[in-house]
């Protein structure tokens, strides 16, 4: 752990009793004394506070059209004060990383994954001017049905925001960059603020009865229930956006005109369909099926037809859940496939995603 970076909230995590683990080059809290199950359920019922300061924050002062050369999203049509999910693609149509892009008027604001941020910044700089990494701001996420009520006590203006809105608001003389978004399937907010003010802001939220600190363990089970991809697991350079079921993120204009890396393959798969698709799976029984578990078309099949990319226990469903890739002819809901666990074949049923309906404030 001595070679790992720490966020500016590290001491607060330790004070709160967090168990710290290595993650994406950082020492991060995986859980607090409440435990992963308790933290998951608290976020679903009230409001959870996550430290996501390890993520990359980038200001981009290049024209919106310039970014369209790297992503298959309509950035030019993104209205000021709005945010959009995006992904960098490579020449083979694979996904280099997924990210959020916000139009903040005179610049774009990007949030990229922690494990990919150095490569993403290098990728941006290789193709665009005006790339400014932000290294002096923390990033917090407040998620759950009581997130608005809690945050509005400190920043009343958030009540006017809807899903994917971005605003610059003030808290006690500190400038906050806020988006109404998150990674849990719940209503909530992500808040970028200067590092020297992050601990005071976090403590002000945690002083509220409905807000509890949440670690990486519950963050993962929450996003899995919401059917959201984790880069490096459910999506990577070997998966296309069409295979991953992310075609909703590619706007009509970009589908038609192309002009982004891997457009030939992605447009072909949009037209003709891919050979495989990401699906939700509900294993029978109580045994979780983890990443890497091989999937078979029949109990006695010799060769696997796919594999699980994310899996675990879904606390809201009180049952194991998983996502993985299967040939298109096996992706219809209620199709049964077989997973190999400890030398045994166990059935799993294909289901629609997400496992639990999202509650975004639209």
Q: Does 288 score more than 80 pLDDT?
A: yes
The mean predicted confidence, pLDDT, of the chain is 97
Q: Quick one: three-class SS letters along the chain? A: CCCCECCCCHHHHHHCCCEEEEECCEEEEEECCCHHHHHHHHHHHCEEEEECCCCEEEEECCCHHHHCCCCCCCCCCCCCCEEEEEEEECCCCCEEEEEEEEECCCCEEEEECHHHHHHHHHHHHHHCCCEEEECCEEEEEEECCCHHHHHHHHCHHHHHCCCCEEEEEEECCEEEEEECCCCCCCCEEEEEEEHHHHHHHHHHHHCCCCEEECCHHHHHHHHHHCCCCCECCCECCCCCCCCCCCHHHCCHHHHHHCCCCCHHHHHHHHHHCCCEEEEEEEECCCCCCCCCCEEECCCCCCCCCEEEEEEEEECCCCEEEEEEEEEHHHCCCCCEEEEEECCEEEEEEEECCCCCCCCCCC
What pLDDT, on the 0 to 100 scale, is given for residue 2? 73
In angstroms, the CA 50 to CA 93 distance is 32
pLDDT digits (tens, 9 = 90+) for 107-160: 999 999 999 999 999 999 999 999 999 999 999 999 999 999 999 999 999 999
CATH superfamily of 275-362: Aminomethyltransferase beta-barrel domains (2.40.30.110)
Under 8 Å between Cβ of 349 and 279? no
Question: Tokens 């290294």 correspond to what residue?
Answer: 135
Share of the chain above pLDDT 90, in %: 98
**Does pLDDT of 188 surpass 90?**
yes
For the chain, give every domain's residue range. Answer: 10-56+135-225, 275-362
Per residue in 331-361, pLDDT (tens digit) is: 999 999 999 998 899 999 999 999 999 999 9
User: Under a CB-based contact definition with an 8 Å cutoff, are residues 239 and 89 in contact?
Assistant: no
d(CA 232, CA 73): 21
pLDDT in tens, 66-110: 999 999 999 999 999 999 999 999 999 999 999 999 999 999 999
Homologous superfamily of 10-56+135-225: Probable tRNA modification gtpase trme; domain 1 (3.30.1360.120)
pLDDT for position 1: 64
Chain centroid offset of residue 209 CA: 27
What is the predicted pLDDT for the residue at 362? 83
Q: Which tens digits make up the pLDDT trace of 34-57? A: 999 999 999 999 999 999 999 999
CA dihedral 293, 299, 300, 306 (to 10 degrees): -40
Residue 250 scores a pLDDT above 90: yes
Q: What mean pLDDT comes out for the span 287-301?
A: 96
């Amino acid at each position: 752990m001595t070679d790992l970076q720490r966020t500016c909230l590290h001491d607060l995590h330790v004070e709160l009793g967090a168990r710290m683990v290595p993650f994406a080059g950082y020492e991060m809290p995986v859980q607090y004394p409440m435990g992963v199950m308790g933290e998951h359920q608290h976020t679903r019922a009230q409001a959870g506070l996550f430290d996501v300061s390890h993520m990359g924050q980038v200001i981009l002062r290049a024209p919106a059209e310039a970014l369209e050369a790297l992503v298959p999203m309509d950035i030019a049509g993104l209205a000021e004060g709005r945010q959009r999910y995006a992904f960098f693609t490579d020449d083979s149509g694979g996904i280099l990383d997924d990210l959020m892009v916000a139009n903040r008027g005179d610049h774009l604001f990007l949030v990229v994954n922690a494990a990919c941020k150095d490569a993403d910044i290098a990728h941006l700089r290789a193709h665009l001017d005006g790339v400014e990494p932000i290294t002096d701001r923390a990033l917090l996420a407040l998620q759950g049905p009581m997130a608005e009520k809690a945050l509005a006590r400190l920043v009343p203006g958030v009540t006017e925001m809807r899903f994917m809105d971005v605003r610059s608001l003030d808290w006690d003389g500190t400038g906050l960059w806020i988006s109404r978004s998150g990674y849990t399937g719940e209503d909530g907010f992500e808040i970028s603020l200067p590092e020297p003010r992050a601990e005071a802001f976090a403590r002000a939220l945690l002083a509220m009865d409905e807000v509890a600190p949440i670690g990486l363990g519950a963050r993962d089970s929450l996003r899995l229930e919401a059917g959201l991809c984790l880069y490096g697991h459910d999506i990577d350079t070997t998966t296309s956006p069409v295979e991953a079921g992310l075609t909703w993120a590619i706007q009509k204009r970009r589908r038609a005109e192309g002009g982004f890396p891997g457009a030939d393959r992605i447009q072909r798969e949009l037209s003709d369909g891919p050979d495989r698709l990401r699906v939700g799976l509900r294993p029978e029984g109580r045994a979780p099926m983890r990443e890497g578990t091989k999937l078979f078309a029949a109990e006695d099949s010799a060769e696997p037809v796919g594999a699980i990319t994310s899996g675990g226990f879904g606390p809201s469903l009180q049952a194991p859940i998983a996502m993985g890739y299967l040939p298109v002819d096996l992706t219809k809901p209620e199709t049964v496939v077989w997973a190999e666990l400890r030398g045994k074949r166990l059935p799993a049923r294909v289901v629609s995603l997400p496992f639990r309906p999202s509650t975004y404030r639209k």
